[in-house]
Amino acid sequence: MAGPPRLFVDAAGLAAGQTVALTGGQTHYLAHVLRRRPGDPVRVFNGHDGEWLARLEGLSGRGGSARLDRRTRPQPPPAASPWLCFALVKRGPLDLIAGKATELGCTRLIPVTTRFTDMPRLSIGRLRVQAVEAAEQCGRLTVPAVDEPVGLAERLTDWPAERSLIVCAERGAAPPLTTVAAALAGRPAALLIGPEGGFSPEELDALRKLDFAHLCHLGPRVLRAETAAIAALACWQAVAGDWADGRTEPAADAPF
């Protein structure tokens, strides 16, 4: 995106004059890919205190630092942004889901296991890296939370009653996602995506019994899990989320 590189920093209470630490990954990218040097400007955010213009200080393979100059964007108030609840799939598709869901404004990534889950060894840290890199690139000022994976049934036992669960069902009678999204526009929601092979009949029956669950379909073709996750989040944001308004500012500067 345009402007100085954006960097997520794991630091609290950003303030003018403060020096924040950069990771080895960030400094390697800055020095060897973007050819940046000490003194060059960067933009820094921590998910809480808005976006700050900063100057690079040290840059080494083990890390570096930047000194905060001034705040260039305020932190927006928390929005009713969608969560994404998704069955574990293979590593490549999981990376895609984490990165693209972040670009699409998801604020919480909830991996679950289901009857037909193709269960890999999942690194939460790896998903978080994908989410951070996508947040740096897409201009948002937050990074989605990444939950530890649990069984779907267990995850739903303490589900927050006010947050609708939009179940993207691969088979069976259901309305299109747009119909469900229009009815729930502006309210807290999570999209649930099954594994390759879909949910089991027993899982779908159990989901239908939940007061907060709404089944929907994603069209006449069988989508791969990662395609379904990206498509569902995009449609939710377009119909019920933060795509609704006309745009008058460059996207990179739009508050969100």
Using CB under 8 A, which of 40, 57, 95, 103 touches a second copy? 103
Site for a second copy, residues 124 to 163, rule: CB under 8 A:
137-140
Task: Name the minimum Å distance from CB 31 to a second copy.
Answer: 21
Pairing outcome for strands 63-73 and 83-87: unpaired
Task: Name the minimum Å distance from CB 141 to a second copy.
Answer: 10
- How many residues belong to the chain? 256
Pairing outcome for strands 41-45 and 108-113: unpaired
Tell me the one-letter amino acid at 101: A
Window contacting a second copy (CB under 8 A); options: 18-26, 50-58, 123-131, 216-224: 216-224
Task: Name the minimum Å distance from CB 212 to a second copy.
Answer: 21
Window contacting a second copy (CB under 8 A); options: 45-53, 155-163, 183-191, 226-234: 226-234
- CA-CA distance, 43 to 3, in Å (whole number)? 8
Helix (H, G, I), strand (E, B) or coil at 182: helix
- CA-CA distance, 228 to 240, in Å (whole number)? 17
**Binding status of residue 252 toward a second copy by CB under 8 A:** yes
Q: What is the CA radius of gyration of the chain?
A: 20
Task: Name the minimum Å distance from CB 2 to a second copy.
Answer: 8
Using CB under 8 A, which of 35, 70, 209, 247 touches a second copy? 247
**Binding status of residue 184 toward a second copy by CB under 8 A:** no
- CA-CA distance, 174 to 97, in Å (whole number)? 24
Window contacting a second copy (CB under 8 A); options: 21-29, 44-52, 154-162, 234-242: 234-242
Are residues 118 and 195 in contact, defined by beta-carbon separation less than 8 angstroms?
yes
Beta bridge partners of 73: 51
The residues binding a second copy (CB under 8 A) are 1, 96, 100, 103-105, 137-140, 170-179, 217-224, 227, 230-232, 234-235, 237-239, 241-248, 250-252, 254-256
